[in-house]
Amino acid sequence: MTETVLVDDHILLSVLLDDEPEGLRPMGGAIATTGLWYHRLCRALANQTVVGSLSRRLGGIDVAVASDVIASVVDLPPTIELVSLRELGWPMGESASQGIRLNLLSLEAVAAARHLGAEICLAAADDNKPLVHAACRLAIPVRRLATTL
């Protein structure tokens, strides 16, 4: 297990809800996410007319808790690293030129995991086969974790 885990938006929300999946990271391990996963979480929580798996999780909790979670999403805690495209733009371009065919979100995740030497942790509900296949091809560890939906 690596010291840093790169989490998708579902797992990031779990962490912010104080419901970190068991075994997510080793003691003292770091959590990171990508700009696009962060954006996807922000978009899901900001648009109250869209009901998806992320926004639905806040629907059943106390209003004060939901408000605190939204505040922690808006001002992401410093304990969660947000990897910048400043570091990832070139590696993403290189990966694409080397035949890694992924959408932008997945390409960013692969580049971030390589940059950090991190394991990619996806919510079990996130069935992103192209990302998992590319990560395997590049020897990037990937784990799927159950989250409360």
Q: Which two tokens stand for residue 31?
A: 């959590």
Whole-prediction pTM value? 0.86
Please give the backbone phi and psi of residue 116, each rounded to the nearest 5 degrees, phi first. -90, -10
pLDDT in tens, 81-97: 999 999 999 999 999 99
**CA atoms of 95 and 57, how far apart (whole Å):** 35
Query: What is residue 24's DSSP assignment?
Result: S
Q: Which residues contact 28 (CB under 8 A, 6 or more apart)?
A: 3
> pLDDT (tens digit, 9 = 90+) per residue, 41-61?
888 877 665 455 555 555 555
* Domains of the chain in sequence order: 4-145 (3.40.50.1010)
pLDDT value, residue 43: 84
- Please give the structure tokens belonging to residue 74: 């808006």
